[in-house]
Structure 1
Amino acid sequence: MLRTAMIAAALTFASGSAFAADVTGLWATPSNGGQVEIARCGNSLCGKLVTSDPIKADPGRKDAKNKDAAQRGRPLKNLQMLYDFTGGPTKWTGGKVYNPEDGGIYSGTIELLSDNELKLKGCIVAPLCKTQKWTRLR
């Protein structure tokens, strides 16, 4: 009986989580060679743009497409583009996504699909959303 209980407990534990569920780290975006570092910021998740092909070509590149003219002089390198995501351990909601390619801010969700893949979804208003899959670099 004890052996059966131990096997059942082990199977429950093994099926409960197939991966470590840690979304923090460096992630590759599918466009422009982007790399985003996701970290914990207090009780939420945030993320900054570490590099991209445009930043590699011009390290001083500015946030020229920002809809707020006062923000257009800030550098793109290390620009916070993900903020206020809460939840976990595999899905975070209620966050904001800043897209430097169009200067827009979108409501977002982050879902960890595996140790090495996440899904980022940004919406103007549902169902007007765009989804990307990012791959872990470290």
Structure 2
Amino acid sequence: MHNSNNTQKSNMTLRVFMSSIVITFGLYIMIFPVLKPILGLGQIMDGTKSWVALVILIFLFLPNIIYSIVAIKTKKLEYVIIPALALIGAEYYFFHNYQTWIASNANAAIALVIIPIYLMLILAISYGIAFVVVKIRRV
């Protein structure tokens, strides 16, 4: 019984640690580069612009929020590790050259609405892969 309790504590620690890594990585690679031009304008944004910016930022961060909730609630480590690696990889793929990409094409800002849909799709596929891994390990 004592060994099971230690395993549960270490699993919970790993889940919280992986969730914090995914959230921190998402903040630094997605949210901060988008916030920097908005806050650096030096102009006071009116209500509509600030609400649009807030909705876009929440929509960008939605896959990370979904991952964190699932990572804390699940008991299987496959549902923590595989989606974390997939989400971090996808975020890096889409946002590693964000400044160059957004400066090269003014219409590329529409991708800020499309990319979270791709991230959620990648997250769903990674959960499917984790499900298959759990089923294979069970056999």
TM-score normalised according to structure 2 size? 0.32
TM-score normalised according to structure 1 size? 0.32
Structure number having the greater strand percentage: 1
- Higher relative CO (Cα under 8 Å, sequence separation at least 6) belongs to 2
Structure number having the greater helix percentage: 2
